[in-house]
Chain A
């Protein structure tokens, strides 16, 4: 492996981790990195992880089955992200609708703002790559396609949080 590439990956991962820590501290009212959940939320989150796990297994099995029937070379290595993203969507969606996604020490407004920033940033990278004609190179999608997928998922989750808030306000 090219040492410059390896160094770039390492720096990228470290910057990513630093951003996660900063965002986690920002969304928690008490400034802690860890989000606190009560016993019912922990139980619901456990079930969410179980459904997410099975979703990944099923998505992988479907991908494996259909990879023989359809040409997926256009997706390149981003194909490996699809089952992960499916699992994340299932787990988070379950938690949102079971009131187990927003923790006891989370600030909902800051949470939605940060989700929106991450959504816009990811979609911006994807749209820019598309406008520059770099989303698909030599018949394979570039890494910017992962940003499009992530942006799409964050958008879905932000919309789900909005739907849940509307449903809660109607129920009260």
Chain B
């Protein structure tokens, strides 16, 4: 399932996939894979992404 909330939060901060990738220490392709729903990140990576984007785990990764 695509993670549009992550994409929206990133775009809201005017960050590219490359910017977010560098901030959390992963490759751009990994951020792309998370947004496309092709990769299920570990909790550690989820937390890093949330900290950089200023969001909670629920806001970005909790599926209703």
Contacts and interface: CB of A to CB of B under 8 A. Distances in A.
Contacts of B29: 40, 99
Interface stretch (B7-15, B38-46, B55-63): B38-46
A104 B25 contact: yes
Interface of A: 38-41, 99, 104
B27 A41 contact: yes
B interface SS class: loop
Instruction: Give chain B's interface residue range (CB within 8 Å of chain A).
Output: 10 to 19
Contacts of A40: 26-27, 29-30, 33, 39, 41
Contacts of B39: 40
**Top-5 shortest CB links A-B:** A38-B26, A99-B29, A40-B30, A40-B39, A38-B30
A167 to B, nearest CB: 12
Contacts of B27: 38, 40-41, 99, 104
A2 B29 CA distance: 52
